[in-house]
């Protein structure tokens, strides 16, 4: 089954979609899209860091993305700069620093397009093992911490009154995002990861009645986007990563035709609007 490049791409892409969909629901509920962009942009700095120190690329990306998340939490405590301004500074700074470091490493040949837009057709069997191994870990943590994560998303004060720890749930969510970016970067690229997290979840939100169903629908919609995007890429000779995102967009636009099923359980609203 994994003997040809297209089959490997399908298997790897579906694996990422199964993880990105449920995690993307929390990004949509918490209005963390800009934070997701910041984490994704920092991935290129992680690539440069890994190549400079001769480390695994996925490990370097995760380390830098996690560091950016922790740095944001520390800077927010000062309350001197708004969160969106901090995200803008970190997003563009990490991307620029990564590009500068990559440009200075003359001894290494780097295909920037592959890192920026992904190259899912070049995925290998070890890459698939990384996707499914990391994905299984992420899904296990999501299932284990589903109630604290959901409670902190709906109402942080109420969750704390119930003996839960909203701060820890928020940190866990950030680290899970860093891990998803690390395992998905090679497939869809730095600039498209956030789209794969957000669009299927936004589509599922219009169709689901409960948070749990929304997570399942988001995973399924992401898988359909991968299959449709890769087949479209093969048929029309278009870039595979962007084609997957376009397929996800088509599914979202199609969902607009269906009347939205409103239920408060399917659309948690964070108490701190606009904050990750």
Query: Using one digit for the tens of pLDDT, what is the confidence trace for 199-219?
Result: 999 999 989 989 999 999 999
In this prediction, residues 178-189 reach a mean pLDDT of 89
The answer to whether residue 240 is domain-embedded is yes
DSSP state of 261: -
pLDDT score of 170: 87
In this prediction, residues 220-224 reach a mean pLDDT of 97
The answer to whether residue 26 is domain-embedded is yes
Q: Are 25 and 256 in contact (CB under 8 A)?
A: no
Kindly indicate the confidence band of residue 3, based on its pLDDT and cuts at 50, 70 and 90.
Answer: low
Task: Name the residue with tokens 């988001």.
Answer: 218
The answer to whether residue 148 is domain-embedded is yes
Q: The whole model's pTM is what?
A: 0.89
Q: How many domains does the chain have?
A: 1
Does residue 128 surpass a pLDDT of 90? yes
Q: Which residues contact 276 (CB under 8 A, 6 or more apart)?
A: 30, 32, 35, 72, 83, 87, 170, 174
Higher pLDDT, 262 or 186: 186
pLDDT score of 272: 43
The residue segments making up the domain with residue 194 are 5-266
Kindly indicate the confidence band of residue 264, based on its pLDDT and cuts at 50, 70 and 90.
Answer: very low
* CATH number of the domain within which 224 lies: 1.10.3470.10
The answer to whether residue 271 is domain-embedded is no
CA distance 12 to 187: 8
Region label for 267, one of left (φ > 0), alpha (ψ between -120 and 50) or beta (otherwise): beta
């Amino acid at each position: 089954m994994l003997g040809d490049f297209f089959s490997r791409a399908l298997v790897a892409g579906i694996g990422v979609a199964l993880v990105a969909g449920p995690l993307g629901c929390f990004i949509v509920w918490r209005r963390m899209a800009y934070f997701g962009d910041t984490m994704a942009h920092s991935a290129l700095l992680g690539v440069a860091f890994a190549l400079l120190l001769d480390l695994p690329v996925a490990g370097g990306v995760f380390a830098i993305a996690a560091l950016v998340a922790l740095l944001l939490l520390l800077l927010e405590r000062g309350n001197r700069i708004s969160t969106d301004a901090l995200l803008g500074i970190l997003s563009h700074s990490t991307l620029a620093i990564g590009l500068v470091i990559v440009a200075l490493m003359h001894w290494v040949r780097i295909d920037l397009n592959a890192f920026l837009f992904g190259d899912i057709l070049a995925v290998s069997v070890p890459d698939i093992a990384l996707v499914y191994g990391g994905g299984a870990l992420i899904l296990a943590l999501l299932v284990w911490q589903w109630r604290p994560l959901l409670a902190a998303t709906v109402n942080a004060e109420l969750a704390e009154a119930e003996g839960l720890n909203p701060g820890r749930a928020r940190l866990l969510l950030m680290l899970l995002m860093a891990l998803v970016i690390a395992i998905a970067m090679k497939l869809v690229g730095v600039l498209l990861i956030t789209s794969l997290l957000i669009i299927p979840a936004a589509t599922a939100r219009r169709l689901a009645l409960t948070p749990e169903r929304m997570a399942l629908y988001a995973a399924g919609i992401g898988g359909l986007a991968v299959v449709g995007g890769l087949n479209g890429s093969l048929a029309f000779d278009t870039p595979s990563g962007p084609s997957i995102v376009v397929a996800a967009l088509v599914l979202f636009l199609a969902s607009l035709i269906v009347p939205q099923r409103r239920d408060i359980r399917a659309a948690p609203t964070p108490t701190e609007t606009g904050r990750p």
